[in-house]
Structures are given as C-alpha cells and as structure tokens.
Amino acid sequence: MLAPMVVCLGLVSISYAGSINYDFIAIDSPVFASGFGSAVVPATLTGGYTFSGEFCENDSCSTGPVFTTASSLLRLTNLTLTCDSSSTCAPIDVTFEADTFSAPSGPINVNVSLTGSGSASGYARVCFADDNNICSSALFGNESFTFPYVNNISGLAQGTIASNGSFSVLGDFHVNGVQGGSSVNLFNSLDISLTSSVPEPSTILPLGAGLALLGAYALRMRRLRSTE
C-alpha cells in the first residue's frame, strides 16, 4: 500500500513583486534636493512660500515605511506649503523624479493616489520616461497619469506601463495658489505605487519543482493501479 502523499501548496505559491531599484531620487523644484533613497528639503523661503518636503522610497522615508504589497512605493510626503503673504500666493509646482537602474521588463501596474489637508486646487501628474517614451516639459506623454483636485486635496489615477527594464518617474504636484497665511500639507502623501506582474525567479523554481512532484506522483499512482 502506497502511503498518501501530502503536497504543501505553500511550496508552489507565486509572488508577483518583481524588484524595482532606484539610483537617483530628487525634488527638482521649488527647491532642489537629491539623495539615495530620499531627498529632503528643510523649511525654506521660496517664491512667497515657506516650503518643506520629502520625496522618498517607502523604506527610506524619515517617518518610516507604510505597509504595501507593491513592488515599489514612492512618496511625496512630509510636505508643507505656507503662503507668507497677506494676499493669495502665486501658483507653484513641486516637481520630483526617481531614476531606476533595474526593473522588471513587461507590464507594471501604476496607482497614483493623493491625500492631503488644507484648501487648494490644482493637479497631480506623473509621467514615465524611457527609450521609447518621452515626457514633455509639462509631463505629458504616452505613459502619463493626471488627476485634478478642487478644494479637497485628494485624487486617484490608475493604469499600466510597459517597462523595458529601466525608466524614470517624473512628477508634479501643482497648486493653483494658496490664500495668505494658509497652508497645504501632504502628511499622508502623494503616493506612486508600482506593481510588476512578472514573477520573481525565486518563485518560478519552487513552482516547477512542485509541479514535477505532482506529475511524478500521478504517474506512480497510474502504474500501481494498472498492476492491481
């Protein structure tokens, strides 16, 4: 009598979190700062505003990571724009970028979400650039995601890009203006979540081994039945 074979399904589970790695992170305007993993601008007077903010990979953000199942999470966070004038301050753009040095090839799901506080209107826009896709100076392109916000600083855009293994993420948080003495805050961030649908090589191997084991077991059972 052949003892029943128990196959642990956990051995053949698939993870779809392909690794995305960056070698450059920067806030480009209104004040430039760059770094590896995180770019931080301390409170600085610029264009009638006091501006501070951080653009970072999730694991490198100064306030610590937030939970995510994505392959990559970039965050424009810890941001404060305070209008130092007695009248409404002029429109302002907070622009930022991240350059990859390695990423999975194939489709990557994109989720851009905004949660902030204060009263203002404007838009958020993110564009992905590579050898096949160009972003304009206004960050329009074949792989560009935009949504407006009016008074309530929140919004969402979703879609898919086609990765060739390396790309740049370019973003703009645009504010049409802020009333004198008022502030706009992004403590909960403009988040750019990227999820690869390409399985990790380390998950393909256990899957193949598990299928081979199941196949061998089925063949052995058939042979045993034929001899009974």
Question: For the structural domain made of 21-197, what CATH number should be given?
Answer: 2.60.120
| 145 in Cβ contact with 157 (< 8 Å) | yes
Q: What pLDDT score does 20 carry? A: 95
Q: What pLDDT score does 19 carry? A: 87
Q: What pLDDT score does 199 carry? A: 59
| Burial environment of residue 124 by CB neighbours within 10 A (0 to 12, 13 to 18, 19 or more) | buried
Give the start-to-end residue ranges of the domains of the chain.
21-197, 200-228
In DSSP terms, 149 is beta-bridged to: 122
DSSP-assigned letters across all residues of the chain? -PPPP---GGGG--------EEEEEEEEESS-EEESSEEEEEEEEETTEEEEEEEEEGGG-TT------SSEEEEEEEEEEEE-SSSPPPPEEEEEEEEEEE--EEEEEEEEEEEEEEEEEEEEEEEEE-SS----TT--STTEEEEEEEEEEEEEEEEEEEEES--EEEEEEEES---TT-EEEESS-EEEEEEE-SPPHHHHHHHHHHHHHHHHHHHHHHHHHHH-
Q: What pLDDT score does 3 carry? A: 45
pLDDT in tens, the chain (228 residues): 444 444 444 433 333 346 899 999 999 999 999 999 999 999 999 999 999 999 999 999 999 999 999 999 999 999 999 999 999 999 999 999 999 989 999 999 999 999 999 999 999 999 999 999 999 999 999 999 999 999 999 999 999 999 999 999 999 999 999 999 999 999 989 999 999 976 555 444 444 444 555 555 455 555 555 555
Q: What is the C-alpha separation between 83 and 48, in angstroms, rounded?
A: 6
User: pLDDT (tens digit, 9 = 90+) per residue, 85-99?
Assistant: 999 999 999 999 999
Q: What is the C-alpha separation between 147 and 175, in angstroms, rounded?
A: 12
